[in-house]
Structure 1
Amino acid sequence: MKVRVVSRFVMLMLVLLLGACASTPRVASQADPSADFSRYRSFAFFTPLALEQHGYTTITSNRIRAAVRMQMESRGYRYDEANPDLWVNLNAYLQDKTRVTTMPEVDYDYYYSYRARSYVAVPYWRDRTDVRQYTEGTLNVDVVDVHRKQLVWEGVAVGTVGRFDPAKQGEKIDAAVAAIFARYPYRAGDASI
């Protein structure tokens, strides 16, 4: 029972991550320079996906999987569970963060001067400290050469997670996956890159 509650909590947090990036995520990628992408023509999902570490799929993990499959197939890769050239593994996690910023500011106090017989403005300086707590989410897409059992490409999206509208969750997942694959320059069997 406890595992089920934890699993649901993790998936809820994942939904918040993928469905509610408050801003455009930062995306990074890297490729193995020794990999020959021209020989890859098919793919399948790694089993079990890191995203599905509790042994079952969820609505969110299925949506991410569908978005990744659409991106791979749009690049000419054929889905082949029996004999793929590439495995695709997916992972996501959330991390609570705190941002502390300190900024100097000046203010004025007014004092009555008996000599001048009026009020005088006197500046004073102080530091204003702002503390902001937020949740940062990360979505990872790993592409692995099946025969070499080696990572050949990795794409990562990192963004601040905010409140979300469940009706737009699917669109936001698709947008995050598309942002990651915008960094994937390869096409199936393409030797020109």
Structure 2
Amino acid sequence: MKKLFTLLVVIALMASCQTVRVSQDYALGTEFSNYKTYAYYKKGVDEAKISELDKKRILRAIDTEMAAKGFIKSENPDVLVSIFTDSKERVDVYNNNWGWGFGYGWGWGGGFWGNNMNNNVTRTTEGILYIDLIDAQKKELIWQGVGTAPLKSTPEKKVERTNEIVKEILQQFPPMPKN
């Protein structure tokens, strides 16, 4: 029973480390169906505090997802795409206090005591990617998607993770109207 519980905790930890958490915000009343073309907001992309390699990975992933949504890259866009990045350290503490027992006697010094008290602490660096969509004519932010996920270290894993994060973020665009 103890081994099964430990295995379930490890599986839950691994699953929680692999997921991308996303959220969105947008300007209510915006008619998103009017937007068909896009370009990058150079100032926003240039100010992103990441390597040029990571910028290229993000922009390629955005191009793929925008094309899949029917958007066309244009010199005269309806929407400007900007990015912002950040990172944070995530600390997870898992207490495994499963089990119980009795001390000797019920008097002095006796009573319940726990066995198998294990505390596990994991630290993970998570990347945060903001994708902003700006109305090109009005110069107003109309939509923002945010994705947070653990970072990867090899170039191949970085490409895979970047594609996953961007896809998860842009899956929420355009926002679906609430009934």
- Provide TM-score, normalisation by structure 2: 0.70
Aligned residues: 155
Residue pairs, 1:1-193, within 5 angstroms: 22-50=17-45, 52-53=46-47, 58-81=52-75, 83-102=76-95, 104=97, 106-108=99-101, 123-125=112-114, 129-161=119-151, 163-185=152-174
Deviation of the 1:104 alpha carbon: 4.8
Answer whether contact 1:103 1:129 (CA < 8 A) is retained: yes
Deviation of the 1:28 alpha carbon: 1.3
Answer whether contact 2:127 2:148 (CA < 8 A) is retained: yes
Cα distance change of structure 1 residues 106 and 74 upon mapping to structure 2, 3 Å threshold: closer
Please list the CA deviations of residues 33-67 of structure 1 after superposition, one character each: whole Å capped at 9, or x if unmatched. Answer: 221223212111001234x3279971221111011
Please list the CA deviations of residues 90-122 of structure 1 after superposition, one character each: whole Å capped at 9, or x if unmatched. Answer: 1121112333455655554775x8xxxxxxx96
Q: Which has the higher contact order (CA 8 A, sep 6+)?
A: 1
The code of the aligned residue for 2:39 comes to A
- Pick the structure with more strand per residue: 1
- Distance in structure 2 (CA, Å) of the matches to 1:35 and 1:137: 29
Cα distance change of structure 1 residues 131 and 78 upon mapping to structure 2, 3 Å threshold: same
- Distance in structure 1 (CA, Å) of the matches to 2:50 and 2:119: 45
Unaligned runs of 5+ in 1: 1-20, 114-120, 187-193
Q: Give the RMSD, CA atoms, in angstroms.
A: 3.2
Cα distance change of structure 1 residues 170 and 110 upon mapping to structure 2, 3 Å threshold: same
Answer whether contact 2:148 2:165 (CA < 8 A) is retained: no
Deviation of the 1:136 alpha carbon: 2.2
Mark the structure with the bigger radius of gyration: 1
- Distance in structure 2 (CA, Å) of the matches to 1:26 and 1:176: 9
Q: Percent of pairs identical after alignment?
A: 24
Q: Which of structure 1's runs of 4+ aligned residues deviate more than 2 A? A: 52-57, 97-111, 125-134, 163-169
